[in-house]
Structure 1
């Protein structure tokens, strides 16, 4: 058996535009899903009415993922609850926890209630998801005096409820203004091969708003760079990154007609089961390639001398062959 983990040094997490040379069976985990150059997480806070009026239709029309951090106890959400129920099932639309009523927390009991009540609403919206699951949390922007508990106290409660905090806030009108600055933010993201959220409140109205024209123009800008950007939600990004950081690939067998390997990571696979994108070197003479894990065919893209595919850590051996499984 050959441990491929030494290939996965930090400098080997490369975008597909500059793939390394891999010999037969050598495998690396790509930094971002499908070898994308950077990760953009479009997020929308406070369950603002304009999210239903303008934002969600614009995102679904373009098939762009958006994560909406809701406050189920507040008027804007409660007055249009049925519309939020419908929006939750739209392709690419994710609802997440922004606390129940956006008041911060003066005591541990109050803050835990804010988390739990918002989770209860999300469980109602997503009845098929297990309750014992990781969940994304966006910290509400409230004055410091509305927090009466410390960061360690906040973190203990988040951990108890399996909450994963969204990366630090970046978005208009607080850290950038206007279309040009938002486009520059994404351009820098691509340049640095990094992952960040871009967080909005109102769109064409409500509070802390951006204009509809700027927002739609930004979506067009994003769509033009879709082949370079992994457009996802913060929880999926967190799971991918966390799994990747402890992932190890062990080459079990490598023959002229088959490669067999194992993908493992140190995380609890009951909570962390996001597929990772692997790149494996192939024999030079293979004309075709087929990839399976636990008997299931995997997404793949053949490149010069290697193949890209998604596999789940701990999901069973990965088999690569130049013949179909039933041949």
Structure 2
């Protein structure tokens, strides 16, 4: 089904955001240079706690931000469900409360702003794509917590989001792992064909974990280069701000259409 969004800006038919989780070494060594080579801005979700990988390579991550890439909040402690074998008991979301997750998220935002003073606005990504705290009858979504503090947030799931109806505080994204460039291109192509916002989630690129070979990202970037300018390729925060504002504008107008003020980015 085609998107019900009235239109993307400046004749654009769809949007794509490339995201990278956990501030991995291979992202600095491989992913950032590839993005730069193709003139694409990505979103890097980091855990900025004391002693973290992000803090260890802070000078290099500051340079990434200065190049125009987004540095986003991925919490301080990266809590996930205790069902994952790599999650220690103290990191299990089943044991956390809404107050605890909010404190962690706000502390991560404060650290990001302190470590990267010019950071500006940024988006959030749920660790492991999981947006709940507590277990059994205490289980509840912390999406409302995130909605109080961010314009847009990324989860996991499918690659495409209908900009007219998607949940801006729990956007779908496709984890790119154990696939080749043709499969990645095909997933994005399906979303682009119906005017959606495709979001991809990478971890390692040529190293680290959940890794893909550099040729996968290179092949995707080469294909995306041929789609511009009809496909808008930008950070999650940039696209999310536009979609949120355009939807609000439509509601005010009461027409279901974006007004002329959103015709250009």
TM-score by length of 2: 0.74
Deviations 1:14-60 (A, max 9, x none): xxxxxxxxxxxxxxxxx212221211011011111111111111112
RMSD: 3.0
**1:72/1:78 contact within 8 Å kept:** yes
Counterpart for residue 67 of structure 2 = 90
Q: 1:41 to 1:276 in 2, by over 3 A?
A: farther
**1:169 equivalent in structure 2:** 173
3-state SS of paired residue (1:209): coil
Aligned position for 2:20: 44
CA shift for structure 1 position 188: 0.9
Structure 1 consecutive aligned stretches of length 4 or more whose deviation exceeds 6 Å: 142-146
Q: CA deviation at 1:90?
A: 0.9
SS of the aligned residue for 2:191 comes to helix
3-state SS of the aligned residue for 1:225?
A: coil
**In the aligned structure 2, how far is the partner of 1:277 from the partner of 1:177?**
37
Corresponding residue of 2:148: 160
Of residues 190, 198, 215, the one that matches 2:200 is: 198
TM-aligned CA distance change 1:197 to 1:221, over 3 Å = same
Q: Which moved more, 1:34-43 or 1:119-128?
A: 119-128
Q: Which residue of 2 aligns with 1:282?
A: none
1:242 equivalent in structure 2: 244
Deviations 1:116-148 (A, max 9, x none): 121012212443567xx6x41111017899855
Mapping of residues 1-327 of structure 1, within 5 Å: 13=6, 31-73=7-49, 75-91=52-68, 93-104=69-80, 105=93, 106-128=96-118, 135-141=122-128, 150-152=139-141, 154-162=142-150, 164-166=152-154, 167-173=171-177, 177-247=179-249, 276-278=261-263, 309-310=264-265
Q: Deviations over 1:76-111 (max 9, x none)?
A: 2232122112211113x1100111121244122331
Classify 1:214/1:185 alpha carbon distance in 2 versus 1 (closer, same or farther; 3 Å): same
Distance 1:217 1:47 in 2: 22
Query: CA shift at 1:12, angstroms?
Result: 8.2
Structure having greater relative contact order (Cα 8 Å, sep ≥ 6) = 2
Q: Which has the higher strand share?
A: 1
Structure 1 length normalisation: TM-score? 0.61
Shift of 1:222: 1.1
Structure 1: 5+ residue stretches without partners: 1-9, 14-30, 250-263, 267-274, 279-308, 311-327
SS, match of residue 128 in structure 2 = coil
Structure 2 regions of 5+ residues with no counterpart? Answer: 81-92, 155-170, 255-259
Counterpart CA distance in 2 for 1:145 and 1:11 is 29
| Whole-Å separation in 1 of the counterparts to 2:30 and 2:184 | 19
Whichever structure has more helix as a proportion of its residues is 2
Give 3-state SS (helix, strand or coil) of 1:244's partner.
helix
